[in-house]
């Protein structure tokens, strides 16, 4: 049975974007972010995170740091009975100083690759799915994947999402 999905960008939507967030100690949730994920869960939607992580390609941190931060986010969400069905991230950048990460990737937003990969793996009702992002590149990725994009500018993600879902 197909279900709608809410695709969340990470930095600037779920967590504060203080520039290449990778240290668990610097994780700060946006107001209402955890509650927004729970609202998506309670509405019967898949909750996905799609995030560019060019800091890996720039040598600022490792993929293991991204994965560790996502585990902490999962644990924080579980404390309020919320969950993310899948995290997708793109560590690539076309001008990366680290050669193995230097490429144009179909998964790097504004390309829709991360979204499309999730659409292939999960029974998503595309016509009822949305992406919430904080940048024009997020909106371009949503459009390219055939889902509606909503630009979040704050202050409270739960209020924003509930208004969109109504």
Catalytic residues: 9, 11
Angle between helices 157-165 and 33-42 (to 10 degrees): 30
Show the tokens assigned to 116. Answer: 């499309």
CA–CA separation, 152 and 144 (whole Å)? 19
List, in sequence order, every residue forming a beta bridge with 132; answer none if it has no partner: 8, 150
Residue showing tokens 């499309």: 116
Nearest C-alpha neighbor of 16 from the set 4, 3, 32, 5: 32
CB 72 within 8 A of CB 28: no
């Amino acid at each position: 049975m197909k279900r709608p999905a809410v695709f969340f960008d990470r930095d600037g939507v779920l967590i504060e974007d203080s520039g290449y967030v990778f240290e668990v100690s610097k994780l700060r949730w946006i107001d209402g972010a955890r509650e927004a994920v729970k609202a998506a869960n309670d509405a019967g939607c898949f909750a996905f995170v799609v995030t560019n992580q060019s800091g890996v390609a720039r040598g600022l941190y490792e993929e293991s740091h991204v994965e560790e931060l996502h585990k902490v986010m999962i644990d924080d969400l579980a404390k309020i009975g919320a969950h993310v069905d899948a995290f997708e991230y793109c560590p690539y950048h076309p001008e990366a100083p680290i050669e193995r990460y230097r490429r144009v990737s179909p998964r790097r937003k504004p390309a829709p690759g991360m979204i499309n990969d999730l659409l292939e793996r999960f029974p998503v009702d595309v016509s009822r799915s949305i992406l919430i992002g904080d940048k024009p590149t997020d909106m371009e990725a949503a459009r390219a994947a055939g889902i509606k994009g909503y630009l979040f500018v704050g202050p409270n993600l739960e209020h924003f999402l509930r208004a969109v879902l109504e």
